[in-house]
């Protein structure tokens, strides 16, 4: 008497695979939450520093807010999944352009007269916004350059492999030129008992 094939094995293995997939999704969700929490902590720290500066030295805080406008634009407008990476890079470059003027104002005394002098200086705006532009260039131009370089390296590697294949064909003959698959085993015929 012919036995009916059971699918118990398939069911248990798919359940096991489903459980493994579910645990991997839970793990990914946890890592996403941890990344969001880490980004939120950094953002909270920046907000706390700005709020403290508003009470301690309002002109320096005003300069920071004005100078970091490109970063705030990324913060509020960017909706890409890699927003935190872009925000971190833009903040670092933008802060590098604003920080010298913040230190200069701190050394000269945080007054609104010094703030107006720096805000009215075209060179100060060139440095602050130029640093933000450098950050934007790193964010949007460098991936394109990296992809181009990688494509060139891959094509060079493919050319070298093609030459090696041609050398093997020349040495061993045309039989090694194609990847032949092993013949599939014939399926057993189902008996109708």
- pLDDT at 10 (0 to 100): 45
Residue 185 lies in a domain: no
Domain count, the chain: 1
Sign of CA dihedral 72, 128, 67, 51: positive
Residue 141 lies in a domain: no
* Percent of the chain predicted with pLDDT > 90: 24
Distance CA 36, CA 22 (A): 21
Q: Is the pTM of this model over 0.85?
A: no
Residue 170 lies in a domain: no
Indicate the pLDDT class of residue 38, thresholds 50, 70 and 90. very low
Angstrom distances, CA of residue 81 to CA of 30, 84, 108 = 16, 8, 42
Residue 32 lies in a domain: no
Residue 103 lies in a domain: yes
* Percent of the chain predicted with pLDDT > 70: 70
- The answer for residues whose C-beta is within 8 angstroms of residue 60's C-beta and 6 or more apart is 53, 102, 105, 106, 110
What domain range is 75 assigned to?
44-136
Residue 55 lies in a domain: yes
Residue 85 lies in a domain: yes
Angstrom distances, CA of residue 31 to CA of 34, 42, 85, 101, 161 = 5, 17, 15, 38, 39
Residue 28 lies in a domain: no
Determine how many CB atoms are found less than 10 A away from the CB of residue 89. Answer: 18
């Amino acid at each position: 008497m012919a036995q009916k094939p059971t699918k118990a094995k398939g069911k248990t293995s798919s359940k096991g695979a489903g459980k493994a997939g579910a645990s991997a999704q839970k793990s990914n969700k946890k890592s996403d939450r941890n990344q969001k929490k880490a980004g939120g902590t950094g953002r909270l720290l920046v907000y706390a520093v700005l709020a403290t500066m508003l009470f301690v030295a309002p002109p320096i805080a005003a300069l920071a807010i004005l100078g970091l406008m490109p970063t705030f634009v990324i913060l509020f407008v960017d909706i890409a999944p890699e927003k935190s990476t872009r925000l971190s890079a833009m903040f670092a470059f933008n802060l590098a352009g604003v920080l010298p003027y913040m230190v200069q104002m701190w050394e000269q005394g945080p007054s609104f007269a010094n703030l107006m002098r720096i805000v009215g200086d075209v060179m100060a705006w060139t440095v602050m916004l130029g640093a933000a532009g450098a950050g934007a260039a790193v964010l949007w131009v460098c991936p394109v350059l990296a992809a181009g370089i990688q494509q060139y390296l891959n094509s060079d590697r493919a050319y070298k492999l093609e030459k090696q294949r041609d050398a093997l064909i020349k040495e061993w003959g045309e039989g090694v030129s194609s990847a032949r698959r092993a013949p599939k085993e014939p399926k057993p015929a189902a008996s109708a008992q």
